[in-house]
Structure formats: structure tokens, C-alpha cells
Amino acid sequence: MSCQVQFRQVYGVFLTLKSLDVNTNQLEGEIPDTISNLTNLGAISLFTNKFSGSISHDFGKNSPGLFYVSFSNNSFTGELPPELCSGFALQNLTVNGNNFTGSLPACLRNCTELLRVRFDGNQFTGNITNAFGIHPKVDYIAFSDNQFVGEISREWGDIPVAVGNLSLLFNLNLSRNHLTGDIPQIVGNLEKLQYLDLSGNKLAGDIPVDLEKCDPLLSLDLSHNNLSGQIPRQLGSLSNLQYLLDLSSNLVSGTIPQDLGKLASLEILNVSHNDLSGRIPTSFSTSMRSLLSFDFSYNELTGPIPTDGVFKNPNVSKEAFVGNSGLCGVAEGLIPFTDIIRATEDFNGKHCIGSGGSGNVYKAILPHGAQVVAVKKLNLSDSEEIQLNNQMFQNEIRMMMKVRHRNIVKLYGFYSSRELMYLVYEYVEKGSLRSMLYDEAECEVLGWPTRLKIVRGLAHAIAYLHHDCSPPIIHRDISLNNILVESGFEPKLSDFGIARLLNPHSTNRTAVVGSYGYIAPELALTMRITEKCDIYSFGVVALEIMLAKHPRDVLSSLSSNSNNQKLFLMDVLDQRIPPPNGQIAKQVVFAVTVGLACARIKPESRPQCVLWHKNCQREHKLAWMNLWG
């Protein structure tokens, strides 16, 4: 039996009804038009059901004593009844969480008894001022998530005066509409206001200085507007501000006032996506002890990131400082850059542990020995300096920071200024594989099982970059210099993506990059970067690890059609250590076979992947699986 039929069956009983309360049930169907004939109705509560359809056009017309109406959290449609407040007794009107449309009823202008109004979460349109007048007793106004338009300061008519005289108002929420114009200074006269949310509109102009008069304010959200000017230092006088101060996604400029540090009770601060400059006030780290979350990202902030107080909280988001090219700190890793400068004595040469075409690498032991990192200072050309602050450029680095693999060096973060770029990596103890392989004293520790372990780990790292990252990452510069070895002889592939960073104009076409002797032959002709380029470099490296010399002569000999001489593997393997035997010998043979397959001249003849490929000979499958694990 439908709700409508039930209403009609007992309609005679309803004629003297003063209160109807059926909230929080599973009732459904439409509300019958005859409900508008209940002349004694004072309160109706239908919230949190499954009612649908529209409300009778005459509802309220014959109910002069109607003081409480709640249609919240249903599926009502259509417009609100035009005579909803014809008796001028209405105190509570909550219709939030429906699909009401149209403008607000004009009769609301004279509902001077209103205490609580909620229209949020509907599809209302038009100017709020067409219906909303002077309501000196109201304490709660919520119009969020609608389609209201108009300028608060000009088109609201009496509303600025009315709002300024709402001495009891503690909640004002106009968020996520299409309101324009300035925020009226008179908002500061709301002496009881605790929650103010004007976010998600198109408001412009300055943030009102008079907001400092709203001393009870607990939460202030002005985000996602077009506000400009500076952050008023007077906001620091809002001593009770506890939950939120959100000024993000505006056009606010200038410095962050030191006075905001007085907000000792504030838990959430967001000033991201503005044009703020200067330093983050040091008072924030020492005075704002209640901060649980903060966001300074995507501004023009400079100087050091504070390193004490709330900024040392391990739960702080690593995204809180990104997009500020002038911040002196490894923002994404929350490692203060000032600590790195001290640890390297301003990048003194005695702390340099390596150098290459892309830059020098320094070892930095952070204060109190808490952490050791490697810092790469990039060599940038003039064109690359121009790209340095490009958003795409920095997004590339942030993509690299998400890479997580046991055989890939972890990138902690970066620091950039207008002319410099530093990348901060985990420190790998034993250094580069090249230095170990070609050091007569070190080569003996690189026995055949260790070399197979290194080749295997390198293969897993490349396969991860090519197949497990989205989008795939092509290293572009795989060589012995870029393979580091940690204490357990586990290999770590480093400098992944560096060549891409320094050639940011194209995704798959580039100038010839990489280390001489490891670059795929087709690059000189096609200038096209593909995964097959990395596979070629891997093949060269795998052979070099086994031969302890660059395999160019071996590869040249095998590719020459006129050379009929046979090549014996035992003659070309590293002669400084005893030859492999048993199962290890079989794996060495297979590793060399894989290296030769990967280093073929024609890219289409190389394997699709360094771990396994469908064209591999059947008899090699088990050996391949045993080798790579």
C-alpha cells in the first residue's frame, strides 16, 4: 500500500492534526495535495525517507500556525510552495538533500521568526536576495551546493545590512554556488559567528580585514574563489580559530603574515595554489602546536623549510611543499636543504663521490648521523634552465619519486631554484659497479654467483620500469656507472629518468643521450627512444660484467659476415678469477647468451623483455627461470 493511499484513508483524522512526524523510516511515494488543507498543522517532519514528487503548490497557504518544516534527505523535486511562510510563523525550514529546483519563494523575505534555514544540496537557482530578507533571530544558514548567482556585496539588497545585524548567527555556509563580487566587510559584524564557508564560488576582491571582529570563529573556508590581495595579518587575532583556515586556490599574493603564528589552536591550514612569496614564517613551527595538517604547495615561496615543531611530524604530507621552486628544502622528502648544505660544506669537492655527464654526486651525512644521502647536482644548459620551473618538468621528478623497487635507487626528493637542480637519493654503500669491476683488488669479490646476482637484479629493475610503472619509464642511460652495489652485493640501478628530464620536449624522440658504448645503434638514425634501447644497453652491461671489458670487439666479431673464426666463451670471460663450473657455468653461459640476444643490432630481433620473451628457445626456458628467479 503506497504512502499516498495511506494518507487518503485517514484524511479525516488529519483535519485537526497539529504535528506530523514520520522521519527516519523507509517511507516512499508522493505527498498528497490534500495535506495543504490541514489548517491546524504546526509542524511537519518528513526527513530521511524515500519520498519523491513535488510538494503541493498550496502547502502552507491554509496553515497560519506552521512553524516547523523539514523535508530533508528525500528525493523531492519541483519548486518550493510559494506560500510556505504565509502565516509568518515559520521558525525552522530544512529542505536540504533533495532535488528541488527554481527560485526560493518570495514569501521568505518576511519570515522574521526564522531560526534555522537549510537549502543545501539541491538545484536552486536565481538570486538569494529575491526571497531572503531580514531575519534577526536566525542562527543557522546553509545554502551550499546549489546554483545560486549574484554579487554578495551589491545584489543582495538588504542582505548585507541584514547579515550585519544577525547577532545570533553562528553558521553561514554559501559554498559551491556561483556567487560573485566581493565579500562584504560587514560580515565582520557577526559577533556570534563560528563557522563561515564561502568556498567554491567566484568571489573576488580582498579578504575582509573586518573578519578579525568574528572572534568566536572556529572555522573559516574561503578556498576556490578568485580572491586577490594579501592575507590580512588581522586573521592572526582570531584566537578561537580551531578547525580550519583554508585560503587555497585563489589569487592571493604577498607574504604569509607572521601573525598567523598566533593561531595556537588551529588544526588545519591550507594556503596552497596561490601566488604567495617570501618565507614560511618560523613562528609557525614553534607556536602553532595544534596543527595536524598544512599545505603550502604551488606558490612562489622561498627560503628554508622550518625544521622543528610541527614540521618534524612524521605524518606530515610529503605534498605540503611541492610546486615552490625557491624553497630551500628537499620538499618531497621533508629533508631540509640547509642540512644538506652544512653536511657537504656547501658542496665542497672533498664530499664529491662521483661525477658524470649529468652532474656531480656528493655524500651528505645529515645532522646527528640520522641519515646518509647522495645528492646529485645537475649540470644544466641554458635551455634546460628554462625548463626547470616548468610544471611538466617537476611532474616528471615526482613520478620518479613514486618508483619503489629493491633494485632501483630511491629518490627522496629534489630542490630547485631558477638556475640549479639537486636530486637527493638514498646512499648506496659500495659505489658504482664500474669501480669494483675494474679494480684489481676488488674484482676477486665479484665471483660468478655475485655477478649473476647483479645481472639478475638489473633485469628485474628494468622490467619493473618498463612494465610495472604507469606510464612506463625508459631509463635511456644504462651503463656500469649507473649501477650501484650495496653491502650485500645487491645491485641498484640509478639515474633512471635523468636523460628524460634533461630532454623534456618529447616523449619518444630525443637527441642522442646516454653513455658512449651503451647506446642502441638505431638512435643515430631514427632518434627514437623505445624500451628496446634499454634492452640493448642491458645486453652490453650483462656481457661487460661477465667479460670484465666492454664487449664491442666480441659483438663486432659476431656481426661480421666475413669472419669465420669461432669464438670460445672461456677465452673471453674474465680471466682474473677462476672459470665457472657445474651449475654456475651453465648459468654464466646462459647469461652471456641473453646478453648477446639483447645486444643485437636490429631492435626487432631483441627480446621483448629482459626477463622472458615468447621467442626464446624452448630449451632455454628452464635455465632462464633459474637464472632470473
Give the residue ranges of the annotated binding site for ATP: 377
CA separation for the pair 71, 274 (Å, rounded): 40
Cis peptide preceding 471, ω within 30 of 0: yes
CA separation for the pair 121, 235 (Å, rounded): 30
C-alpha cell at 254: 604577498
Residues 6+ positions from 530 with CB-CB distance below 8 Å: 474, 508, 603
One DSSP character per residue, 298-324 reads: SSEEEEEPP-SGGGG-TTS-TTTTTT-
End-to-end CA distance of the chain: 67
C-alpha cell at 358: 649529468
CB 174 within 8 A of CB 198: yes
Q: Is 477 a catalytic residue?
A: yes
Element of type H or E holding 541: helix 531-547
How far, CA to CA in Å, does 568 sit from each of 165, 407, 573?
Answer: 97, 32, 9
Strand ranges for 13-137 from DSSP E: 19-21, 28-30, 43-45, 50-53, 68-70, 75-78, 92-94, 99-102, 116-118, 123-124
CB 171 within 8 A of CB 140: yes
| Strand order, beta sheet including 300-304 | 253-255, 275-278, 300-304, 326-330, 335-336
CA separation for the pair 410, 495 (Å, rounded): 10
Which amino acid is it at 258?
Q
Strand ranges for 178-304 from DSSP E: 178-181, 195-197, 202-205, 219-221, 226-227, 244-246, 253-255, 268-270, 275-278, 293-295, 300-304
Residues 6+ positions from 514 with CB-CB distance below 8 Å: 476, 477, 478, 479, 499, 523, 533, 537
Which amino acid is it at 470?
S
Residue of 205, 174, 204, 168 lying closest to 189 (CA atoms): 168
Catalytic residue among 120, 477, 534, 574: 477
Q: Can you say how many angstroms the Cα of residue 256 is from the centroid of all Cα atoms in its chain? A: 22
Residue in this structure with the C-alpha cell 672461456, named with its chain if needed? 570
For residue 33, the SS3 value is helix
Return the active site residues: 477
